[in-house]
Structure 1
Amino acid sequence: MLVGGPFWPTALAHLLLLMVIVDAYNGRLPKAFIALPIIAYAGYFGMYIKDSIRISLHERALQSKNPVSVIRFDPDIHDLIIGHAYRFVEQYQVSVVYSKSHGDNPEGYFSFRLLDQKSCKALEADNKPGMKLMGVQSRDNRRNGNCILRAQERPVKEHITFKSEPNNSWGNKGTVGEGGYVLEHRGEAVANYRTASVYRYSFLPLPIFGCGLNAGIGRWECDAGFWRTIQGLDTRPAGAPDELGNDPVAIMLGIPLRQIQSGDKDSLRKERLLR
């Protein structure tokens, strides 16, 4: 593992096929041997194309099923409760977002608010118990001196809750794994938005063979096959307006993105939710 042994077959296999082509061309091998690398590469790319078609069809099926603007979010009536509240409140036009908390929190929830530079400095000088100022990620917010305030606070309005369903692509590298979000309103599940990812073959054939230490489970594992990389599927509905970004919560509630730089906006739209 320390010298990259499992990846040696990648170079050796391509070198072998190249040598077959060179030797057949120079007459050291019968010309018919040129068929060997042709069959090898054609077989792999045929498998790659078949896999790509399967993934594309699955992607389109989810795009056609995922809902848009299920409930029109009204901040005067609703409180939004999601697991990624910290990230959501910075990216989208909503004043406060809640998440359930664990541990020593008498309210049972945290609230998250994006504050301007003046409010951030005022709270730095007078930071109350149960409150915490947190950093921001986007370039616009960093440049403007904004921050996020996390407080121990219970939502008091009508709850709109999203429960995330974990993605199951990790177990089987050849299967499209699905996760997603379930929208609950007034105690009932009213919509389901599916996300997906898959371990897919790389464009160039990269055969691997060997063993490595899996730190996640604390033991050695051996494998043989072609290298795969994880890819998030684009399950965003075709009818969703661009200003709603790529977050399923925003798409289902019709909450637009904040005004941010084009570079940050592009990165948000390309983000794949693989939870």
Structure 2
Amino acid sequence: MPKLRTTFTFWTTLIFLLFVGLQYFPLTGVFLMMVGAPIWTGFFPHLIALAIITDILIRQKFPRFLLVIPLFPYAVYYVFFAVDGLHIKEIERELQSQNPVKIITYNPDKYALIFPQYHARDFVQHYKVPVSYEANSNRPEGYTAYRIITGDLCVQSRGIKEHSHVTSTVSWKEKALFAYKNFTNLCKLEIPESPTKQHLTIRIEGISKESNKSPQKLQKIEYSFYLDEKPIGIFTAAQYVARPRFPKFIIGCALISNPPAWKCVYQLRYKRKVLNTFPKNTDLEKYGTNPIAQMLKIEKYTESDLESFKNYPETEKYLKELIAKKTTPEPCDNPDNEWGCYFNKKPPKTEDNNVE
């Protein structure tokens, strides 16, 4: 047997134990926590396994039968990974057989879409609806409406109603992209408004709660649809806390707040996987992976749709009626309002550019 100090295995293991030991004590561990030590220390088991394989196959420091030491844990892991995969497929097949392909076809002339809180504002940026609503008890109208509109209408719509708000851009994300794309030719209008059409209400409930000690692997989310408060259908989505394709670990210590303590953890990093619970003949390309859009057959925006976006007729009519009643000054009449002048391509009025 070679001297251990001449092997990669020895030094890799020693460095690993050193970092674990330094994290154990709060005095040194808090500094390592700030640079993400529990995450990158989690890669050391793989480095140790690689060091053992290198010492056996390349440097020939150990006999070949010791390859079982690094390879056996991976073999066990991928057996459990495969079992997880089979279980996930079984759950998906069961929910796909229960879920409908469609609940009702959304007609913007007949229905007002009413979402749970925080869902309406994102939906209107990604799917072809003129307006989306969410209940808001803080407004006399009882609801907040969200619309996307073109830049010229954005400027005119500022201050058209108390508590209305205009964002500077529309943010859109396609499934394959990692970042949102901002469309500066558009803005999102948030305005208190009561829906005047039939209420097509969506409620999201039934999310399984997790325990810190034993997280539930399967979490079902029920999307319930109501037409004027009468139930018309349910779609069940699901997430599964699964093992990742490549094992990742958290090894180290950190401050926790509930209860306040210095806590050390040595665990596998699980991945939350969204299950495909749509029936097999579902058109994911056209309607996307949003259960609400799928059940109501609402098409998603493409990048070119938003680049050439034109205001919906009902939006133009509604806003122009409000603009006609507006008594506040136009945006570029206010020297402090540079945002409104952005779309008009005119500088704010100042003493210098007011001189004849």
What interval of TM-score do these two structures reach, taking the shorter chain for normalisation? Answer: 0.7 to 0.9
Q: 1:155 aligns to what? A: 195
Q: 2:25 aligns to what? A: none
In structure 2, what is the Cα distance between the partners aligned to 1:152 and 1:128?
8
Map 1:1-275 onto structure 2 (within 5 A): 1=29, 2-3=31-32, 4-7=36-39, 10-22=42-54, 29-83=62-116, 84-103=119-138, 105-124=139-158, 127-134=160-167, 135-138=169-172, 142-143=183-184, 145-165=185-205, 167-168=207-208, 170-171=210-211, 172-173=214-215, 175-214=217-256, 220-241=262-283, 242-261=285-304
SS at match of 1:137: strand
One-letter amino acid of the counterpart of residue 87, structure 1: D
| Cα deviation, residue 61, structure 1 | 2.8
| Cα deviation, residue 162, structure 1 | 0.5
Compared CA separation, residues 15 and 142, structure 1 to 2 (3 A): closer
SS at match of 1:155: coil
Q: How many residues align?
A: 261
In structure 2, what is the Cα distance between the partners aligned to 1:214 and 1:262?
46
- Aligned residues of 2:251 and 2:266 also touching (Cα < 8 A): yes
One-letter amino acid of the counterpart of residue 80, structure 1: L
| Cα deviation, residue 263, structure 1 | 11
- Aligned residues of 1:169 and 1:197 also touching (Cα < 8 A): no
Deviates more, 1:168-177 or 1:77-86: 168-177
Compared CA separation, residues 262 and 149, structure 1 to 2 (3 A): closer
- Aligned residues of 1:169 and 1:175 also touching (Cα < 8 A): no
Larger radius of gyration: 2
Compared CA separation, residues 19 and 141, structure 1 to 2 (3 A): closer
User: Which structure has more strand as a fraction of its residues?
Assistant: 1
In structure 1, what is the Cα distance between the partners aligned to 2:209 and 2:78?
23
Alignment deviations for residues 202-222 of structure 1 (CA, whole Å, 9 cap, x no partner): 323334433323468765544
In structure 1, what is the Cα distance between the partners aligned to 2:163 and 2:40?
54
- Aligned residues of 1:20 and 1:34 also touching (Cα < 8 A): yes
| Cα deviation, residue 70, structure 1 | 1.0
Higher RCO (CA < 8 A, seq sep 6+): 1
One-letter amino acid of the counterpart of residue 118, structure 1: D
In structure 2, what is the Cα distance between the partners aligned to 1:9 and 1:131?
49
Q: 2:23 aligns to what? A: none
Identity %: 27
Compared CA separation, residues 98 and 9, structure 1 to 2 (3 A): closer
- Aligned residues of 2:103 and 2:296 also touching (Cα < 8 A): yes
In structure 2, what is the Cα distance between the partners aligned to 1:240 and 1:117?
35
| Cα deviation, residue 160, structure 1 | 1.0
In structure 2, what is the Cα distance between the partners aligned to 1:263 and 1:16?
50
One-letter amino acid of the counterpart of residue 245, structure 1: G
Runs of 5+ consecutive residues of structure 2 not aligned to the other structure? 1-28, 173-179, 308-356
Runs of 5+ consecutive residues of structure 1 not aligned to the other structure? 265-275
SS at match of 2:303: coil
SS at match of 1:237: coil
- Aligned residues of 2:101 and 2:278 also touching (Cα < 8 A): no
Compared CA separation, residues 111 and 173, structure 1 to 2 (3 A): same
| Cα deviation, residue 86, structure 1 | 1.4
Alignment deviations for residues 24-47 of structure 1 (CA, whole Å, 9 cap, x no partner): 556754543222223222111111
Deviates more, 1:44-53 or 1:9-18: 9-18
- Aligned residues of 2:39 and 2:251 also touching (Cα < 8 A): yes
TM-score by length of 1: 0.79
| Cα deviation, residue 106, structure 1 | 1.0
